[in-house]
Chain A
């Protein structure tokens, strides 16, 4: 029987991460239908009360807050024991993380403490009487896998932009605050944190992505894509070809050996569309491809195909979107 779901909530600068919002909202709908309860775990140092209100507005009122100065920045050896302790105390059957840099680092370690099964990067999950089922993509997104699990606790990381939730009744958050008794053992020391100077939306969290390939002649020309992305409030990515050519850093790479993303809209500019690239985008809702080569493989996996010069089309698209969306 699934009685309790624990959601590990991530927050940054007084806002909970979008994937945490999605998980909380979806779980509160599930709890209304299936009769289980949902609890949220928040940890950190100074956490604004607005974070707790945002959790409440996604329908979840039971919040466990572990407050400790040491938890202000990411440290797996301080966070894993905290999460483990909470799981032992409240005994959830299902524990959910976002598939984010922190979730990816923490979830497998926590799962192993319980010898629990973990489903990575799920795009959906459902609860039935006695089991949880997860959906995810494997093999370059060519195979859809459904896993049914009957042994608990079970863990999962959830891909951003995939689970949907409708309006849920707002709840007044009830926060139980605890301190952590963790000690830094010194076996893993965070010497320095170097914040990236360009503050961009994470590729896997962006709802709209504009990406460039080898069709982009030089690195500076990516500013054309950055303009389009800005108007659409999206992120900029790149194919392996563009990254290998030094036009964009590896962190922007989308594809089999880069990131796998599920945006609502993906605009591929000057990307030929080799299978290793499309493996990273095939879960996108709508794909637009712009390429001067009419035989480019990307046209087989796109919804809208423009055979043309991206250097002409992209700025025109930017202007058109700008007019239609009334953005500056």
Chain B
């Protein structure tokens, strides 16, 4: 089976966000890590490879310095890692990211399965997998919590996905795109031996030229500084505390 896993870099949790200007976030002090949802996608790919055999390719569309993040993917079991570096100075949104990925996927050709996280922890757009599936014209199962069965010969994959107040069991034809939910699995940690082995594997770097057109989109940022009241209640008399809190909430018309 030829499996592709799409990774994204995200701001590491707890990074301090600073704005250079209203249109630019200063990322000099930010540490990046692989989007946790994509780590679950990679883990799922490794399990599929362990069960059905095949080869795992990983794409990461990111900054040039992101190559380090791909080492871990190789250590965990990816066979090939490709860093797609686009020379976009300004905004990089789902439309542009999808275009970069579609072109790279079409060049590679012939994947049986494409896996990614269903969303990320920083921009929370959750659009790229849906957009990709339309551009590639392959079936897409979104927010999958369990891959139940893969029938390689019949080219069918059966998944459980999160629906609206229900679970949906979907059978799709391969090649297919699957986006995973966090609770699909527990990602493993790479073993030291694997990390050393990974150092020998090559990371391919591809530069993408994207023509910057005026697409009529302008973005402005502001830091959120919602001040909270932090009113303390002394709970030496819990009944009194409860009464006072409820009183305050009723006054504030929150209920």
Contact = CB atoms under 8 A, between A and B. Distances in A.
Interface residues of B, number: 79
Nearest to A116: B95
Contacts, number: 240
A18 interface: no
Nearest to B128: A108
Nearest to B25: A143
A138 B122 contact: yes
Interface string B164-201: 11111111110000000111000000000000000000
22 contacts: A108-B127, A117-B93, A120-B127, A142-B223, A143-B17, A146-B222, A147-B218, A149-B216, A188-B172, A193-B167, A208-B255, A232-B255, A265-B255, A282-B224, A282-B226, A286-B254, A300-B228, A303-B228, A308-B235, A312-B235, A313-B235, A313-B242
Given A138-B122, A189-B171, A276-B13, A145 B219 contact: yes
Interface stretch (B43-51, B73-81, B104-112, B137-145): B137-145
Contact of A139 (B11, B162, B248): B11
Interface of A: 12, 74, 76-77, 100-102, 104-105, 107-109, 111-113, 115, 117-118, 120-121, 131, 137-151, 186-196, 199, 202, 208, 232, 250-251, 256-258, 260, 264-265, 275-276, 279, 282, 285-288, 299-309, 312-313, 316-317, 319-321, 324-325
B215 to A, nearest CB: 6
Given A102-B164, A305-B230, A324 B218 contact: no
Interface in B211-241: 215-224, 226, 228-235, 238-239, 241
B139 A187 contact: yes
B250 A121 contact: no
B139 A188 contact: yes
A324 B170 CA distance: 47
A304 B231 contact: yes
Given A143-B25, A287-B228, A312-B235, 5 more contacts: A108-B94, A140-B13, A265-B249, A288-B249, A324-B246
Instruction: Choose among A143, A186, A199, A313 the residue with the greatest number of B CB atoms under 10 Å from its CB.
Output: A143
B121 interface: yes
B126 interface: yes
Contacts of A282: 224, 226
B121 A144 contact: no
A153 B92 CA distance: 19
The 3 closest A-B pairs by CB, nearest first: A108-B130, A308-B235, A150-B216
Contacts of A76: 140, 142
Nearest to B130: A108
Contacts of A105: 130, 142-143
B31 interface: no
